[in-house]
Structures are given as structure tokens and as C-alpha cells.
Amino acid sequence: MINISLPDGSIRQFDQPVTVYDVAESIGSGLAKAAIAGKVSTISDQETTSTGTEGRLVDTSYLIEQDTALSIITAKDKEGLEIIRHSTAHLMAYAVQELYPDAQVTIGPVIENGFYYDFAYKRPFTPEDLEKIEQKMHELAKKDEVVTREVWDRPDAIKFFKEIGEDYKAEIIESIPENEQLTMYREGDFIDLCRGPHVPSTGKLKVFKLMKVAGAYWRGDSSNEMLQRIYGTAWATKQEQDQYLTMLEEAEKRDHRKLGRELDLFHFQEEAPGLIFWHPKGWQIWQQVEQYMRSVYVNNGYQEIKAPQILDISLWKKTGHWDNYQDNMFTTESENRVYGLKPMNCPGHVQIFNSGLHSYRELPIRYGEFGQCHRNEPSGSLHGLMRVRGFTQDDGHIFCTEDQLQEECAKFTELLQRVYKDFGFTEVLYKVATRPEKRIGSDEVWDKSEAALMESLEKSGCVYEVSPGEGAFYGPKIEYTLKDAIGRHWQCGTIQVDFSMPERLGAEYVAADDTRKTPVMLHRAILGSFERFIGMLIEDYAGAMPPWLAPEHVKVCTISGQFDDYALDVVKRLKEKGFRASADIRNEKINRKVRENAMQKLPYILVVGEKERQDGTVSVRARGNHNLGVMPVEDFIQRLADDIALKRDVTVAKAES
């Protein structure tokens, strides 16, 4: 008798081995029809895990031969959507080879919101090719061909793929460890190497779209040949796909690289790959962010410091960065010494802590730095402000006792929430990233660190997810992710527990019993990379920054040249109050002036003519072509001051007026 335990706690018994599909059908024909895969966990599986609940994904054809915990996976499950996307990648490769038999398939994984597959083909794929491939995919899906899993011997698999001209696939198989089982998935005339699982038949794949073609080096190595990567997206329902495509259209309008050019904020050029040339307007945004964060430091017990840009690699070796991170570090030499250009700020902060002897009464000590870092990111991964080689972090390190650990983590979460709210973000997602396979420190230390982070979030009332294996090599971390105006998620803040680096670098404090102890070090950042955060702000606000962040608050436009002196006087009064203002006194029609300045997404445009000059007033237009009427200059000054003090946007100010 085989016992199948289901998620609702019920148990179904079978007198012989059954497939996942058989179990689903025994529950109901509707579930059997919706089933995409199963998640199984046998007693032997549970003995190898800490909770016994992880399970492994299997096809619906998987044969259950012993007592097993089973969940039926459908398109509504996160795992189900990933399986749909992976299966759609195979469907795309199937369609490509139907249309272009000479094309070789290589690798095709699931990515966020979709999938891709790399192909070797004699000519570039065109947009017209993508349309044909997508049409063929729909034809193949309608055939509802069964997808079957097969186990092959290694020599047979290599021979098969070489004989059909799939040299890349044969090379992949040759690189797989000999003790690893080789599985193939077949649908119709197409067969591909894959671990699976996959949908039971192609008819399960109904909602997908091919997006674009890009170049990609074989195995990601620039010394290898260039392949063609076709990207696609796939969803459980058409409504979900439509929402995603609408979001992409909106995201394209908000692209910070496009807005950076249009609003004259920054630029990049080939002579400095991954590095930014900030223009006056863009640097003004930067300065507002930095001065705000400086006030956060001052008001929350942080001491601002500055550490060197380069440090001898002997220090990076002590911290463990050299062994774990050297491929991402820039180095330089002088007088027969090798230095590392810092990729992070923590070792320098420990040196400042070590420069004097500290008592337990001084702890916690909180250091903050706007630290400029450099990382040797691959050129193919660079992406505007979001992924650069030179960046500045609002980086801080807290040195505390073990007893202070949870309280400091909880305080940091509360501070971070307040900061994000000021920038306009109210929805924060929390993840605890636990120990990676490659790490330093004992399991006991990792147990203690992970528990402290989880308990601090629980005490703060935060619901969180666990990301197994995604912690830093020196310690676990909390990742704070923001949701922007069009529903995208951005991981920004972090706090990381580190018992190892302070010990490696000899950090000590004098405890209450006069013994020397090693402090716990918390690595923390709220915004993370300034560059990335500003790029995110530009996209979140679509370039229309709220007044407290805007590069320019006001443009004063004249109806004709005879009112230039009055406009310049208004600008002078605004500047005396600390506002960023200028006049547009060009010999142009007022409608053109207003239109062109509105395209710069200024919070306010003021129009002045004869009546305004006589009455000492201004005609006020808020961003979005909202006419707020005529008001005394002093009233407008107060309005703008309130906008900035309350960190509100002009649209909110209009609604409240």
C-alpha cells in the first residue's frame, strides 16, 4: 500500500505505483486537466533537509512507488509558471528547427518574466523571422503533442547529437559529470537535453510572445563564437501577459537612459565604460539625495567618515575578499606593491574603528560614508545607471555587541522605512538571504547570525521570505526591495551580519569584565548605489521629480521682452529663499516657452506680463498643465516652501489646494 500525503493533510492510498497525474485524477478531473507537474518529498528526501518540506519538482508522468508527500502544481503556482516558461523555450527551439533546419540549439533557460534560447545560425534572425517562429509555435501548441521524458546513456547522447549536426549540444553533454543522469525531453520530432520537468503536452502552452533578438557569446565567453539569443515571455493567462506588455511600454517611456538625454542629466561615452558624466541638472539631483542622506546620518547617531580609495591587497586577503572577489576588483601597482581599488568600504571602516581602543560603553558605534567604489563588471552587463563600474554607496557599518544585534537590526529597518517613505515608496518587501555554499565562518556563527536577522524582522512586524544560499560570503543579510509606480521591484537596502571580518582584522573592544572581545559588525545601506537609486527614481517619477529633488524648481517666462526685468526680479527673490529658479526671456511666443519648458518636467512654470508686474503677482502653472491661477509672489514662495518641507509632489499640492 502506498500512502500519498496531500497539502490539506489528507492521505490517499493506492495498492500499486501511481503517476502524479493518476493522483490528480483521483482528486478530480478538473485538477488532472490543470496539472502541470508535481512536487514530491519522500521520507528519504526529508531526511536530507532541515524541514522536510522542500520537495522536488517532477513531471506528471513521474511514477510514485513509495510513501510520498505530494503537491499538484498548476499554472497558478509560481513553480507552474516557471515550468510553462521553460517548456515554451523548448517549443520555440522546436519551431526554429522546423523552419530553419540548419539552426543549432544551445542553451535555453527561464529568466525573470520569460525565457530565452541561444541559436547558431548562418544569418541574423529578422523581426519577420520572429513573427514566423511565433506563428509556428502556436501551430505546434495546437497539435497538443505529448512531451515525454527519456533517460539516455552518455555515449549514445553524444553520438546522436553529433550525427544530427548539434555540436553545441554534444559539447554540453561532454561537460556534464559522468555520474550525472542524462535526461531528454521529446515532443513530436524535436528532442532536447534537459533536467525538466516540463508540461505534459504542448497544448498547455497558449500565452506567449517573442520579444527580441540579441547577440550572446557561447558559454558567455567573449573569446567564443557569437550566437543569436531570442527572448520571449510566457504567462498562464492572456490578461497577465497583456498587463506585462503594457508595463513594458510604460517602462520604455520611463527609461532613465532616454530621460537622462532628454532632460540633460548625464551621459556615458566609450572612453569611460560603466562610468558616468554627470551634467549640472543630474548632479543637482545627486546633491539633494546626498544632503538628505547626510541629515539621516546626523539624526540617527552615525558619524560620517571617509576611507581611502586604494588599499594594499594584503588587507583584501585578510578580509577574504581577494579569494572570493578578486575577479571583480581593479588593481594598480606602485613601487613594487599591488593595491586593490576598493569594491566595498567595509575594510576601511574597520581600520578606523581599530585606530583607537573602545569600551563596551561606546557601543554601538555607527559609521557612515558616501563611499566611492569600483567593480570590474563585464561590459555586457553594464546598463545605464543601474549597472556601472564606478558607484557611490550610502554605506555604513555598525560595531556592536551580540546583545545589541537584534535591536540595531530592528532600528535600521524602522529608519529605512522612514527614508523610503520620504522618497515616495510605501511598499517594501523583505528577504533574508542565508548562507551560500562558498563562505567563511563556522556553522555556529551562521546559525546565530541568521536567527538574529529573522527575529529582528519578526519583532518589527515584517513579513519576510527566505532566500536560501543567497547571503554574502561573510554573513547572511536582509534585502529590502521596493515596488515602483508601474509595479516593478528594485532591491536597494541591505543589512548584513558579520562575525568574521572584525575578527580577521583584529577589531576589539574592552568588555565590562575588562577582557578584550570582538564586536559584531553590521554592514548596512539604505539606498545602496546612489547611481542605481537615482536611475530608479527617474524611472519611478518618469523624470518628473518632486520639488525637493527637482534639478530646477521654477522657470519664469515672460510674455514679451518689456517684462524681462520683472521676471529677473522674481527669480532673484526665489533664489534668495534658496529655490532653484531661472528666467526664460527669449524672444519667443509665450506658448512656445511654456511648451518647451513643460517638456523639461519642471514642477512649476510662472508666466508674467503687464498685469502680473503691476500687481506683484505671478500666473502659476503646475506640472501636468495644471493652471493654478494668479497669486502674489510671496504666496507662491510659501507654496513651494511647503512642497519641499513636506516632500510632496506638485500634483498632491494641487489636490490639497
Ranges assigned E (strand) in 499-551: 509-510, 516-517, 520-529
CA 449 – CA 434 distance, rounded (Å): 9
Output the furthest CA–CA distance in the chain (Å, rounded). 97
Q: 492 among the known binding-site residues? A: no
Is there a cis peptide before residue 155, judged by omega within 30 degrees of 0?
A: no
Please give the order of strands across the beta sheet that includes 147-152. 147-152, 182-187, 190-193
Selection from 611, 403, 632, 380 nearest residue 511 by Cα: 403
Selection from 194, 168, 412, 151 nearest residue 297 by Cα: 412
Q: 397 among the known binding-site residues? A: yes
Task: Answer for the pair 115, 194: CB distance below 8 angstroms, yes or no.
Answer: no
Amino acid at residue number 582:
S
Q: Which helix (H) or strand (E) holds 298?
A: helix 280-299
Selection from 422, 415, 477, 418 nearest residue 452 by Cα: 477
- Distance from first CA to last CA of the chain, Å, rounded? 74
- In the numeric block, the cell 515532443 is attached to 187
- What's the sign of the alpha-carbon dihedral 627, 632, 633, 634? negative
Task: Answer for the pair 373, 510: CB distance below 8 angstroms, yes or no.
Answer: no
Task: Answer for the pair 630, 619: CB distance below 8 angstroms, yes or no.
Answer: yes
CA 303 – CA 360 distance, rounded (Å): 17
Please state the φ and ψ torsions of residue 619, each to the nearest 5 degrees: -90, 120
Q: 346 among the known binding-site residues? A: yes
Q: Which helix (H) or strand (E) holds 21?
A: helix 20-27
Amino acid at residue number 415:
L
Q: Which residues are catalytic?
A: 346, 375, 393, 395, 397, 477, 523
Going by the annotation, the residues of the binding site for Zn(2+) are 346, 397, 523
